[in-house]
Chain A
Amino acid sequence: MSSIDAADLEALGLRPPGWRATDPDDVLTLAARLRAWWGAHRASVALLVALSAIVAVTHAWGVGHSPAMSDDEGTYMAQAWAVQTTGKLAPYTYWYDHPPLGWLQLALFTWLTGAFSAAHHAVIVGRDLMVGAAVASSVLLYLLGRRLGLRKGFAAVAVLLFALSPLALDYQRLVFLDNIGVPWVLAALVLAASPRRSLWAAAGSGVCFAVGVLSKETLLLALPAVLTLLWLRSDRRTRSFCVTGFVATSALVVAAYPLYALLKGELLPGRGHVSLWQAVSFQLYGRAPSGSILAAGSNAHAQLMTWLHLDPWLLGLGMVALPVGFAVRRLRAMAVGLAVPVLVALRGGYLPDPFIIALLPFAALLVAGTLDAVWAPVADRFGARLPARARRRGGATAVRAGATVPVARKVLAVALTAALAAVLAARWVPGDRRLVGAGPDDVSPTWGAERWVEQHVPRRDRLIVDDSVWVDLVEHGFNPHLGVVWFYKLDFTNNLDPSVARALPGGWREMQYVIDSPIIRSALAEQPGALVPVREAIAHSTTVASFGYGTGVVEVRRITPQGGPTAPTAPAAPLAAP
């Protein structure tokens, strides 16, 4: 086209071939964008930094002492250890107890930080990551609150409720898969509430939600909340594409899990292998139901009391705010998020201990959102129901209402917030103080027992342990393959993995030691009649070292199958309790 005259082209509003323009990106550089962003969000960033600092300090302070260890913490750390060191999903046969993405993230963390070593306690390493997860959840909760139209102060209230309740502080410190999954679900909610209502945010929300569900399957109960939010916040014209984006991405990512089982030939039950099908039906139907949450004496009721003993306020206030949440359009998804798991818990069935974790962000946002709704009728861009009603009542009334009512409302909201702060401070400070180190040290008896075993027990001996000490003992040279054995693996009637029972036909008689801990004792108490080999081992053993006192005592016991100590490796003198 060299014959074209450049002057002709310019007369037509065109440019000669080969001209170069600047990309929009060259003009609006990253630095310029960041400066603009900073200008718009300075106040929120400062507030978030302060909130994050509070959350980080309260969660990290004393995390190595309290609360007492849960068996699951050790299980997940052992599985993360297996991922990192052996490339397998579990130290024993992975039997699809949970989707593995939760401890894959744990393993990523321990791999990046090089945290597994003889110098650290594995469970504490995991708890360090939980502090990070709590900070992440808090930041996301703040963002979600803002996107739901809460004023900055009330979004901050939500974060403080969420992070400072002793119930939350206690459970958020534990290495539970729920704590890993909740930030992902919150991220899904934040994206579902995208102010631009963009398709990619909906698809991203689906990915985040799927990661959350693959971290902990019970988070699937948050699906109605995410979908409600997405539906309410999306535009009528693009809604079908946004919902399609969410459903397609979340379903496709979640599908990786059954696909994995299928590729391993473990999707459906068959002879000689575990299966996803069996595991799911075990979790849904096989586990002993915990009874009605309302019937005194049932396991579910005891579980509820455990939660409420730590703090009845956050959950209680959340339930009080529930009707408001349903009435106020912008809070409706949060109300769904709290109501659905509550209904599921009321329905009966097995009620896991960490179940409560996923309820807390919804409860916190409902309470803070209710205060915000008291402050002023909602006027967010998307769900402006109240102003519409005000408009119908007549412009003059609306204007007058706009001029006078908010002052009274603001006073009321501030008064309510102040009263809440006063009540909660009085109730929460003792609980939080106990958790940050003023209370008894629930963890160190276990460390004492570990140290004693490391110093006195030959590495070829076999030990029955709870999961919380497993990685530490393995890191100190005990054989991960049948050298240290999770206590419930001995009872082949209670789990779906026959590998241990098959490898050790003699059962507990082939073991030399049992570390009797609160974890084992409470498992025995909860499952009367089960775990017979563990009961036998304890019955046929003598204490050689003891740590702690009262219900928290941890004993190293030498097993004597024929009765009477025959231990060639018995120490000269048992150590006294520290």
Chain B
Amino acid sequence: MSADGDFDLHAPELPLAPDLVADLHLETLWAGMARGDRRLYAMARAATLAPLTDPAALAYRQAALDDCLRNAPAVRALHTLADEAVKAEEKIIRGSSGSSEGLLNRSVHVLELLCGHLRELGRLAASSAHGFRSAAFTRLFALLHNELNEKYLRSVEAFLRGFDFEHGIIASARLGEGNKGVVFRLHEPPGKGRPIPLHRRLKKSGLAYTLPGKYEEEWRSLNAFRSRLLGGVAGAVSGSADDVCDFFRALRNELGFYVGCLNLAETLAQRGLPFCPPEIHPSGTGVFTARELYDPCLALRLDDPVTGNDISADGLGLIVVTGANRGGKSTFLRSVGVAHLMAQCGMFAPARGLSASAAQGVFTHFKREEDRSMTSGKLDEELARMSQVVDRLRPDSLVLCNESFMSTNEREGSDISREIVGALGELGVRVVFVTHMHAFAHRTSTETPEGTLFLTAERDGGFRLRPGTPSPTAHAEKLYAQIFGERD
């Protein structure tokens, strides 16, 4: 997934991720990618919540994804194999205590097993390598071909057979603190044939300690001693086993991300929805143009047709969306956020076409549905959340506000909104602001019309937004009437 180093599943998430996940319905997206596999889900989550901003790094993933879309069966097979290798390793029980010997035996066993998987991986790679051209997959296949080839696997297997120590363990040691034996260095195990001179000398040495062997305690001590002798080698072997397993684990995780992309692509294609490789511009270029931009999460939840929006907001730092309730405002807001997150993790974008400058973090400030009380405590809560966002903002961040600051009266709410949106604009933070506050929208359109795109949702607009300055009512009355019947 990146040119330097494995993908880190535990990399720090975007700040305020919990709000983002809830507001953008990201769990639906991940579920759509995972199709019930919790590891695919975790990978999808980790990748979307750690967006990239470097166009080169994104191009690297986009190229790999392009390979995957063209070689879906091979990629799924590689992923399955890596998954099997990791699961096989996990099935081998780990010793409970810190016994080096147990560790050694287990590690030798693991390595023997994983040699088989490496061999299989090499075969699979050799048979499908021709269809791939991205740097990511070329590198993987070259590694398998040049370094983990049959010759190497044979030498490993030969080495592993020497670990039974049938004729004893030979080591050298020094005296450490308290005259404890330390720095044990193992000699190659004495073999079956003619003993080496050192082995002979040790066998004949008159200085011998034989375990009295009356108490269990003594045997435990002897085992501990043996364990310390083997410690260095056991550590080396188990470290190596872990490394080999980590290789498979990293392979499984990274392929898992692409398998998730494949799953989603399949679903969207079946629904007849478009998706495209996005054009990502460097941060700060202020690019945002989309054709038929839609919210994939809504598409995954509903069977109804999904409406896309065409936006051209290049060089416009603020988008103000007003208009009818249930006219598609929130959905549009989500589609902007989700599209950025998808595009910036190297995925395709939910649109027929998308070019955007990379956002330095995506933030949401949505009205909290569960609490509609018009108290100053509520306003306090909203402001506190906005303050948390401000703490983490950088120029070129993307902030999505959904009916913010409506918990006070419209005049005060508009004042606060103008103040905040004005400051963010000055800082180069991009804002999409969905609001019913006519005073705010009106003042923005008269005071700073040039940097702003105004969109409006119409009651019968088929959820499609059109450019337009706000109308004074939000059609709530209509909606109310529709749902509850005519008010008397």
Q: Does A pair with B?
A: no
B→A interface (CB under 8 Å)? none
